[in-house]
C-alpha cells in the first residue's frame, strides 16, 4: 500500500458507518464498527470534523457527511463523503472532495438472550467524477472494496465488539483490517469505549495499530455528541500518526 492510500484509508476507517442506539457499541466515533443498524425506514445523519497528524503533515475532513438508512430492522444502506484539507509543513493547503463510499450492512444473526449479534458490511470506495483529490494526494486514484464481518457480545452495561475485513483495491496491494472494542454504558445518556484497531498487508508482514478512546453523549431524543482521540502505536505502512481525533453530531430525524 502506498503512503497516500494508507493515510486516506485511515481517515475512512474513522468515519465509516453510523450507530443505531445508545448502548456501548462500535461505529462513529470509533474505528471499529458493530452489527447495529438504524430502525426500518429511519435515517441517521452524522456530520463530523476529523484530524490526523503525521510528522510534518496533517489531514482533516471539514466537514464529513455520513448517511445511513434502514431498509429493514436488519439491513442498512450507507453513504460517506467528506471535504478534505491536507497540509504539509511549509506548503500551501490542499483541498478536495474525498472519494465516495457506499455500503450495505446486513445483521444476519441476532440472539438477544445470549447477547450476540453478527453482521457483514461490504463497502465500495470510488472516485467522484471530476474530483481532483487524487491528483492532490488527498484520495486514492482507484476503487476499493472492503469486506468486513462484525461481531458483538453484550452483558449488562458492557459490550465487546470485534471486526475483521478484507481490503481489495483495484490497483494497489490487498490487505486486512481488524479491530477490538471494549465499551460500557453509564445510564441512558453516556457511553465510552477503548479500542485497538489496525491494518495489515496481504500477508501481515507489515501492519499498523492504533489505540483510541471515545465517548457518545445523548443530548436529546434526536441528537448525540460524539468524540474520540487516539494515536498509532506503530505503522509499517505509512508515517505513524501521532494524533487521531473525531468530533461529530449524530442526528436521527
Domain ranges of the chain: 3-247
Q: What's the mean pLDDT when you consider all of the chain?
A: 90
Residue given cell 472494496 in the structure block: 145
pTM for the whole thing?
A: 0.87
Instruction: Please report the sign of the dihedral spanned by the C-alpha atoms of residue 232, residue 14, residue 213, residue 85.
Output: positive
Q: CB–CB of 185/193 below 8 Å?
A: no
**pLDDT tens digit string along 112-169?**
999 999 999 999 999 988 888 888 888 889 999 999 999 999 999 999 999 999 999 9
CA atoms within 13 A on the CB side of 111: 6
CATH no. of 3-247: 2.40.160.40
Q: How much is the pLDDT for 218?
A: 97
Quick one: which of 25, 29, 21, 20 has its CA closest to 47?
29
Q: CB–CB of 29/214 below 8 Å?
A: yes
Helix (H, G, I), strand (E, B) or coil at 219: coil
Alpha carbons 30 and 160: distance in angstroms, whole number:
13
Quick one: which of 176, 180, 33 has its CA closest to 103?
33
* Section 71-93 average pLDDT: 93
Helix (H, G, I), strand (E, B) or coil at 13: helix
Alpha carbons 65 and 107: distance in angstroms, whole number:
23
Amino acid at each position: 500500500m502506498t503512503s497516500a492510500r494508507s493515510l486516506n484509508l485511515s481517515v475512512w476507517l474513522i468515519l465509516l458507518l453510523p450507530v443505531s442506539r445508545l448502548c456501548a457499541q462500535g461505529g462513529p466515533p470509533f474505528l471499529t464498527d458493530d452489527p447495529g443498524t438504524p430502525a426500518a425506514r429511519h435515517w441517521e445523519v452524522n456530520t463530523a470534523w476529523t484530524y490526523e497528524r503525521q510528522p510534518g503533515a496533517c489531514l482533516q475532513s471539514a466537514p464529513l457527511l455520513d448517511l445511513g438508512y434502514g431498509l429493514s430492522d436488519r439491513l442498512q444502506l450507507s453513504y460517506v463523503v467528506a471535504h478534505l484539507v491536507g497540509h504539509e509543513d511549509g506548503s500551501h493547503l490542499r483541498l478536495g472532495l474525498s472519494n465516495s463510499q457506499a455500503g450495505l450492512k446486513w445483521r444476519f444473526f441476532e440472539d438477544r438472550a445470549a447477547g450476540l449479534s453478527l453482521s457483514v458490511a461490504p463497502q465500495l470506495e470510488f472516485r467522484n467524477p471530476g474530483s481532483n483529490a487524487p491528483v492532490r494526494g488527498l484520495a486514492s486514484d482507484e476503487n476499493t472494496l472492503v469486506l468486513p464481518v462484525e461481531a458483538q457480545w453484550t452483558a449488562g452495561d458492557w459490550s465487546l465488539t470485534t471486526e475483521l475485513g478484507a481490503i481489495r483495491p483495484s490497483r494497489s496491494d490487498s490487505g486486512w483490517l481488524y479491530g477490538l472494542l471494549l465499551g460500557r454504558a453509564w445510564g441512558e445518556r453516556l457511553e465510552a469505549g477503548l479500542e485497538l484497531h489496525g491494518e495489515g498487508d496481504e500477508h501481515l508482514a507489515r501492519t499498523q495499530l492504533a489505540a483510541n478512546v471515545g465517548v457518545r453523549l445523548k443530548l436529546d431524543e434526536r441528537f448525540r455528541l460524539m468524540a474520540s482521540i487516539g494515536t498509532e502505536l506503530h505503522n509499517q505502512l505509512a508515517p505513524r500518526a501521532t494524533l487521531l481525533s473525531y468530533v461529530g453530531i449524530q442526528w436521527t430525524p
